[in-house]
Structure formats: structure tokens, C-alpha cells
Chain A
Amino acid sequence: MSNERDISNDSALTTAYRELATETTPASLDDAVLREAAGASKTSSYASIIGWTRPIAWAATIGLTLFITLQLADTPTPLLDTPAEEMTQSTQAEERTEPDHLNDAEHRANPPAAASREADSEAAVRQRASIPAPAATDASNQKAARSVADEFIPPDTQLLERADAMAELQAGSERALEPQTKIAIEAASDFDSTADAAMSAEVAEAESGADEIVVTGAKIANPADEVQAAVASSSRVSKAPASVPNCSAEQRNSAEDWMNCIEELESAGLHRAAQAERLLLMEAFPDFEVDESR
């Protein structure tokens, strides 16, 4: 720095230069430069706007693309190759969601109708898939319905019907046995007054469903006891609680009263009990003519 001062230490030269250099920039030149600067600044602001909008535009494009992609992924689109097959499968799946017992009952009740309905649903599926159905006439439709019905008809429908009938019969007999059992209990209580206590216990066991009751001949003392023994034997034969006597001992003393009791049982709907009483009546009074038609 000292060298610089030594070099330019001539104050006279500096003063002379300061006196010499008094020019200023022309106003026109100032205006031109400042105008250029202002114009460039406006362009710059536009360029900066462009610079900001560009990444925003990119982000918006990417976001929109993602949105559309996700929407398409969520929407199930049928494949162009096999639309009818897929639609048929989906329809079958919908039909499978229906209660099975309804379908089964329908098949059992009216298999051809169900088959035709399935055929109709298949046709509807084809219509929904906007695929022209094969040029099918009514005859061909019926054939197709029949073939489908044959597929769905169980081979042993009669067996199933029989099983259902058996189940209904069993339910009805159980319902019928309940009052019969009550009557038997009442009869047993009446019988206690005249018969042996041990015998009544055995009868109670018979009422409770015991399979076998051994009735000794020594215990039977009167005709009523015989009747009770017959009832026990019948229970051994039928192995059912319906063998319990339903008529009282007094009614069983005379054939007419016993028959009246049996008729009452018939009228009450206790056919099995009436039948059992009728058998007992025939054994006890072989000479009495029983009207079996009733």
C-alpha cells in the first residue's frame, strides 16, 4: 500500500484530474438504462411466476394420475376375453348366498320350475353381459331347461319324501303320547289304591320308559291285576309308553264300559291308546264283539 501512496502521491495531478473529470451521464442514457432495468424486472417477475407454476403443474399432474389410477383399481372391470363366464360365476355366487333350504325345497317341490328359473337367470346374465345369446328357439330352451333340471333332480326323491313323512309321523306320535302318558299316570295312581305298592312301582318304572318289566304271576291278585300284567306284556311287545292302560279298573270290569272308554279315547284323538285298550279288551273279553271299524 505504501507503494501505491508513493505512486499516486501527487496531489497536483489528482487535483487536476478532479478539475478535469466533471462530466455527468447524459439524462437520455440514464433513462435508457433505467428503462431497461425496469423492463427486465417485469420479465423477471413473469419468469419467476413461470418458475413457480411449473413444479405446481407437475405435482398436480402426478396427483391427478394417482387419483385416476386408484379409482380404476377400485372399480371392477370385466375382462374383455371372457365377460360372460365371469358374470355367470358372479351370478352363481349370488345365488349361492340365498338360503340353501329354500333352493332345496324348491327343487324338491318343483324341480323343473327351479331348473327353468335357473335357465332364465342364465339368460338374464347373458343379457347383462351384453353378449348375444345363441340363436335359441323355444324348443332348444326347453331342452336346456330339462337337461339342467335333470342334473338337479336328486336320484332318490321318493326316499327323501318317505323320510320326511316318517319325521312328521314321529313328531305327531310324540305329541300324541304326551296326554296319553298323563292318563297312564292317573290310572296308576288309581290303581295304587287297589293294587300292591310294589306293583305300582313297577308300573311307574314302565311309565318312565323301562324296556322290560318282569311281572310275576304271584303278584297278580284280581282281574285288574291281570289287566295290568297284560299292559306290562304289551309294553314288552311294543316297547312304547303307549301301552300304559288308559281306562280305569272300574271301566275295565265290564266290556261295555271299557268299550265306552275306548270310544272316548278315539274321540279324543288318542288312537294308539284306544287301539291298545281295544287289544286288551279283546284279550279280557274274547266273547265281546269289538267294532274294529270304529
Chain B
Amino acid sequence: MATLLATIDDLRGPTATLPVDASLAYPQPMTPAPEDSALMLRYCDGDVSAFETLYRRHNDSLYRYLLRLCSDPDAAQDVFQDAWGKIIKSRDRYRPTAKFSTFLFRVAHNCFIDYIRRNKRHTHQDVTEPDEQRHPGDQPEALVEKSLAKERLEVAIRSLPDEQRDVYLLHEEAGFTLDQIATITDSNRETAKSRLRYAVNKLKQALELASEPS
């Protein structure tokens, strides 16, 4: 059998010796996905399906950003709906001068600021230690460690100041650069960089503490 296969390979020649996955190196001809700005402009012309496509691209990342930022699912949903509502209402004034995602997260950031102003009682939630909540004896050890690390990170993110958390989430969740973050948060690049550094250091420390053997 092995000799037969070798004979067949010889007959096919050198091209046949390519691995099966090599075909993936060549991109298949396909219609490129329309850009966000084009979809938004189509929606401005009345194409609701274009808006749906645009929404499906960004809804989850925006929701997670707001969920981490607000630390409250209900507030996150309110801010989320408020942000999309503003984009829908102001579609006629939309000009594709910047990336749509930048525009979207800037609107969401402003909605979050408004939300904080409306709710003065918004404060940092009390951070409860995950060790006090869970009972690791009920789960396997690896899962316990993993879950513990996630919870510690969650707690660490919540414990960050709003500005640092905002910058970190914009960087980690949406993948914005420092310039884009500065644009979204209406600050300069150095401020955004400093906030990001502080946030990352704190989160690292939180992870290292979680990974250390008790």
C-alpha cells in the first residue's frame, strides 16, 4: 500500500506533494466585505440590512466594553441602547472621515459619561475577593485555578479607576491604538498611554497574585 501511494505521488509530480493545507495560502476569490463606512452610508440611504450587518460586527465588542466599564449589566444595556440610538438618529450627519468603530466607541464613551453624571451614586463597587465566594473543593484543580484567575482579573478590572479601565478596555476589547484611544476619550496620546500603562501593571500584578501558590 505504501509503495502504491509512493508510485501515485511520483506520477502526480512535485505539485502533488504539496500539503493539503497549502491551498489555504492562496486566498480564494471572494467579494470583499464592505467597509463599515460604506454600510453606514447605505443605511443612511435607507438600507436597513446594511445597518444590521454593521451592528453584527460591533455589537458584542461594544457590549463587553460597556459591561466592563459600567460593572452593571443593566446599566451596560441602557448605555448600549442609548449609544446605538444616537448613531441611528445622527446618521444623516455621519461623514466617513474616521473609522466607524472609532465613531461608535466615542459615542458609547460619551453615553457612559452621561450615565455617570446622571447617576451620581455610581461608585466603584465593592470588590469582593473571589476566594470568599467560591468553593474550590467542588471543582477539579485546574478549572479552579483558571476560574480563580479569571475572577481575579475581573475583580482587578473593576477595581481600576474609570479612566484607566476605559483606556484598557478600548485597547484590549476593540484593539484601538493610543491615538484612537486619545480621540475617543477626548484626551492626548500621552495621557492615554500613561493610563494604559497603569492599568496593565495593576492587572499584571493581580494575575501574578492569582498564579502564585497559596
Contacts and interface: CB of A to CB of B under 8 A. Distances in A.
Interface of A: 1, 3-4, 7-8, 10, 12-14, 16-17, 19-21, 23-26, 29-30, 32-34, 36-38, 40-41, 44-45, 48
8 contacts: A8-B172, A14-B172, A17-B172, A20-B154, A29-B81, A33-B80, A37-B55, A37-B88
B60 A24 contact: yes
B203 A13 contact: yes
Secondary structure call for the B interface: helix
B149 interface: yes
Contacts of A40: 88-89, 91
B88 A36 contact: yes
A10 B206 CA distance: 13
Interface in B83-128: 84-85, 88-89, 91-92
B67 interface: yes
B199 to A, nearest CB: 9
Contact of B146 (A19, A26, A36, A38): A19
Given A4-B177, A10-B204, A23-B64, A16 B81 contact: no
Contact of B81 (A10, A32, A44): A32
A4 B55 contact: no
Given A23-B64, A24-B63, A7 B200 contact: yes
B171 A8 contact: yes
B43 A41 contact: yes
Contacts of B80: 25, 29, 33
B196 A34 contact: no
Contacts, number: 94
Nearest to A29: B77
Interface stretch (B15-23, B30-38, B46-54, B132-140): B46-54
B188 interface: no
B59 interface: yes
B200 A10 contact: yes
Contacts of A14: 172
B75 interface: no
B160 interface: no
A17 B174 CA distance: 12
B154 to A, nearest CB: 6
Given A14-B172, A17-B153, A33 B63 contact: no
Contacts of B204: 10, 13
A33 B84 contact: yes
Given A13-B200, A17-B153, A20-B153, A25 B59 contact: yes
Nearest to A6: B197
Contact of A7 (B48, B77, B84, B197): B197
A37 B63 contact: no
Given A23-B63, A34-B55, 8 more contacts: A1-B177, A3-B193, A7-B193, A8-B172, A13-B203, A33-B59, A33-B81, A41-B46
Nearest to B171: A8
A8 B64 CA distance: 19
A34 B51 CA distance: 8
A13 B150 contact: no
Contacts of B200: 7-8, 10, 13
Contacts of A34: 48, 51-52, 55
A12 B92 CA distance: 43
Contacts of A4: 171, 177-178, 193, 196
A14 B204 CA distance: 10
Contacts of A7: 193, 196-197, 200
Contacts of B63: 23-25, 29
Nearest to B199: A7
Contacts of A37: 43, 48, 51-52, 55, 84, 88
B196 A8 contact: yes
Contacts of A33: 55, 59, 80-81, 84-85
